[in-house]
């Protein structure tokens, strides 16, 4: 019911996260409030790092996909755990560099990087620019030549794999805006071109098949398809790549009934496929990278809200209104995403009230969850939504000129602000 092992209930019946009582956190910092367990994030990073030891003898590394949650402190945390960092915009690149991430540990993704972003990445010495389409290759070559440097790149390949997840978050299939097509020969042509360029060094290839995937098979299949292509490149062009990035996408628990797979199982299944395919194709095992975002921060985060009105419409539904909404968590409005909600100050009571959690935006679709079981709510209660660590703060907006909430990091009973709450002054800063 509490989804994550960083959560528990204390004698007062309050929800506790990494030793901090959520009622105290709400009192101290106000609501809405994002709360992230540093302990849980670090534990997950260590599980990924140690599975590289077990499966690849340390020949590889996890990369934190920071689109899931980007701020200076998360970069410092994952860096200190030995991860690389993936960024997907100039803004994420800037934040990572400001946090002290060495450029050599940054992987820059993006399906339509601007010229400005490309120049910024090249000038900063980003370790891996992941090229999404052939014309981007030319832009990188030009930027590198102008800087009298050589850019390290890889290609994002569309392996033609349909993973079972929400349509909006599938990315590996042929009908996808991401990546270079393998089947049509476009990818081989791009590799051939890159190998002729004197300001480009091509380190390897990348694929990412989608997000919130709860099966192992698509990951195994993607690894096999990519290594078949590595063998084909060796046979046709005489080149053997050093790196292979197999992307992220591992699913997490949003509800008790979600059947998640321990990350070690994904890692083991994929490594068996990698080793046996390399053996069959007589390829040296490349250095393997994976790129998880959601699974590193998702279950580590919760959001606290204060309950406002409770509107019971007999025979229809019960609206429980909170002081946040789609501006701090747009995922239900976008994907009808599942969540577990509870009343944090009554966490020990039975969840026998069926509620629709509504936000405060001028929008009927501003819902966090519909027809979900809760402890009986009252105005002033503290409502918590679980598993909000990924794609909540990073997808927040100022719709209706609402303020983005603060984010607090908790560890062993201590809390600290890592992102301050926005102020009204912040809202008008760029207005003229
Ligand atoms: C290229 C790339 N890498 C990594 C990720 C991270 O995925 P997830 O947060 O599902 O692990 C994404 C998002 O889907 C992505 O597009
Ligand atoms: N933002 C999406 C996932 C996109 C993953 C990034 N390519 C979500 O909340 O589930």
Q: Is the ipTM of this complex over 0.90?
A: yes
The pLDDT assigned to 30 comes to 98
pLDDT of 163 > 90? The answer is no
pTM of the model: 0.97
pLDDT above 80 (res 171): no
211 lines ligand 1 (CB under 6 A): yes
Helix count and strand count (H, E) for the chain: 12, 21
Place of tokens 């009622």: 23
- Whether 335 has a binding-site annotation, put simply, is yes
Tell whether ligand 2 has an atom less than 6 A from the beta carbon of residue 391.
Answer: yes
Whether 29 has a binding-site annotation, put simply, is no
Mean pLDDT over 160-179 rounds to 71
Confidence of residue 172 (pLDDT cuts 50, 70, 90): low
Report whether 249 belongs to an annotated binding site. Answer: yes
Ligand (nearest to CA of 213) = 1
Residue-wise burial string across 260-272, b where 16 or more C-beta atoms lie within 10 A, e elsewhere:
beebeebbebbbe
Domains, the chain, ranges and CATH?
7-30+300-428 (2.40.37.10), 38-297 (3.20.20.10)
| pLDDT tens for each residue of 226-270 | 999 999 999 999 999 999 999 999 999 999 999 999 999 999 999
Name the residue of 248, 289, 299 to mutate for ligand 1: max ligand atoms within 8 A of Cβ. Answer: 248
pLDDT at 169 over 70: no
Atom number, ligand 1, closest to the C-alpha of residue 293: 9
Q: Would you please indicate which residues are annotated as catalytic (active-site) residues?
A: 362
156 lines ligand 2 (CB under 6 A): no
| CA angle in degrees (0–180, nearest 5) for 253-288-132 | 85
pLDDT in tens, 272-309: 999 999 999 999 999 999 999 999 999 999 999 999 99
The answer to whether the annotation marks 255 as part of a ligand binding site is: no
Q: Whose CA is nearest to atom 9 of ligand 2?
A: 391
Reported as a single tens digit per residue, the pLDDT across 184-217 is 999 999 999 999 999 999 999 999 999 999 999 9
Q: Is 291 in the pocket of ligand 1 (CB under 6 A)?
A: yes
* Cα gap 55→57, rounded to integer Å: 6
Exposed e or buried b per residue across 331-345, where buried means at least 16 C-beta atoms within 10 angstroms of its C-beta: bbbeeebbbbbbbbb
**Mean pLDDT in residue range 389-407:** 98
* Model confidence band, residue 164 (pLDDT cutoffs 50, 70, 90): low
* Cβ 208 under 6 angstroms from ligand 1: yes
**Is there a binding annotation on residue 391?**
yes
Q: DSSP label at 213?
A: B
- The Å distance, Cα 318 to ligand 1 centre, comes to 36
What mean pLDDT do residues 217-224 have?
Answer: 95
Per-residue model confidence as pLDDT tens digits over 324-381: 999 999 999 999 999 999 999 999 999 999 999 999 999 999 999 999 999 999 999 9
| Predicted pLDDT at 290 | 98
Is 127 assigned to a binding site? no
Q: Picking from 13-17, 173-177, 328-332, which range would have the lowest pLDDT averaged per residue?
A: 173-177
Q: Flag whether pLDDT at 406 surpasses 90.
A: yes
Answer whether 169 contacts ligand 2 (Cβ < 6 A): yes
**CA 173 to centroid of ligand 1, rounded, Å:** 14
Q: What pLDDT score was predicted for residue 168?
A: 56
pLDDT at 95: 98
| Integer Cα distance of 354 and 324 in angstroms | 19
SS3 label, residue 76: helix
Predicted local distance difference test score (pLDDT) of residue 428: 98
User: Is 249 close to ligand 1, i.e. is its CB under 6 Å away?
Assistant: yes
Pocket residue to mutate for ligand 2, from 211, 326, 334, 392, most atoms within 8 A of Cβ: 211
Residues 99/75, Cβ–Cβ less than 8 Å: yes
Measure CA 218 to chain center. Answer: 18
Atom 12 of ligand 1: nearest residue by CA position:
248
Q: Which ligand is nearest to the CA of 172?
A: 1
Q: What is residue 376's three-state secondary structure? A: coil
Residue 165 pLDDT: 63
**For residue 432, how far is its CA from the centre of ligand 2 (angstroms)?**
33
Helix (H) or strand (E) run with residue 45 in it: helix 38-56
pLDDT tens, position by position, 68-121? 999 999 999 999 999 999 999 999 999 999 999 999 999 999 999 999 999 999
User: Per-residue confidence at 174, pLDDT binned at 50, 70, 90?
Assistant: confident
Atom of ligand 2 nearest to the CA of 67: 6
**Nearest-angstrom CA–CA distance, 14 and 182:** 52
For residue 44, report the distance from its CA to the centre of ligand 1, in Å: 16
- pLDDT for the residue numbered 160: 85
In contact, 353 and 375? CB cutoff 8 Å: yes
Banded model confidence at residue 162, pLDDT cuts 50, 70, 90 = confident
């Amino acid at each position: 019911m509490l989804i994550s092992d960083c959560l528990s209930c204390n004698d007062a019946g309050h929800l506790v996260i990494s030793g901090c009582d959520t009622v105290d956190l709400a009192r101290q910092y106000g609501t809405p409030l994002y709360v992230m367990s540093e302990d849980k994030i670090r534990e997950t990073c260590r599980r990924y790092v140690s599975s590289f030891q077990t499966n690849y003898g340390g020949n590889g590394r996890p990369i934190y996909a920071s689109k899931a949650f980007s701020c200076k402190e998360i970069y410092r945390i994952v860096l200190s755990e030995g991860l690389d960092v993936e960024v997907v915009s100039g803004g994420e690149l800037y934040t990572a560099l400001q946090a002290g991430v060495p450029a050599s540990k940054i992987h820059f993704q993006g399906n339509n990087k601007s010229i400005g972003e490309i120049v910024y990445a090249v000038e900063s010495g980003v370790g891996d620019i992941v090229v999404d389409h052939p014309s981007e290759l030319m832009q990188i070559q030009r930027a590198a030549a102008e800087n009298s440097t050589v850019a390290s790149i890889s290609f994002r390949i569309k392996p033609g794999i349909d993973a079972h997840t929400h349509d909006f978050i599938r990315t590996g299939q042929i009908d996808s805006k991401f990546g270079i097509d393998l089947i049509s020969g476009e990818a081989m042509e791009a590799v051939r071109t890159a190998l002729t360029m004197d300001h480009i060094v091509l380190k390897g290839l990348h694929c990412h098949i989608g997000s919130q995937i709860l099966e192992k098979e698509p990951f195994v299949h993607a690894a096999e398809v990519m290594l078949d292509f590595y063998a084909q490149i060796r046979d046709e062009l005489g080149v053997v790549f050093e790196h292979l990035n197999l992307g992220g996408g591992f699913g997490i628990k949003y509800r008790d009934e979600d059947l998640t797979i321990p990350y070690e199982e994904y890692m083991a299944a994929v490594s068996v496929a990698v080793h046996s395919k390399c053996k069959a194709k007589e390829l040296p095992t490349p250095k393997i990278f994976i790129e998880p975002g959601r699974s590193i921060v998702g279950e580590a985060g919760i959001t606290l809200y204060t309950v406002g009105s409770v509107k019971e419409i007999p025979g229809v539904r019960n609206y429980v209104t909170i002081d946040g909404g789609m501006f701090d968590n747009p995922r239900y409005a976008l994907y009808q995403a599942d969540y577990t909600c509870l009343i944090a100050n009554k966490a020990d009571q039975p969840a026998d009230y069926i509620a629709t959690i509504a936000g405060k935006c001028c929008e009927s679709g501003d819902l966090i969850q519909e027809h979900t079981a809760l402890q009986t709510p009252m105005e002033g209660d503290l409502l918590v939504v679980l598993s909000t660590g990924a794609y909540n703060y990073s997808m927040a907006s100022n719709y209706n000129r609402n303020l983005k909430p603060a984010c607090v990091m908790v560890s062993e009973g201590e809390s600290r602000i890592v992102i301050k709450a926005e102020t009204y002054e912040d809202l008008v800063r760029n207005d003229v």
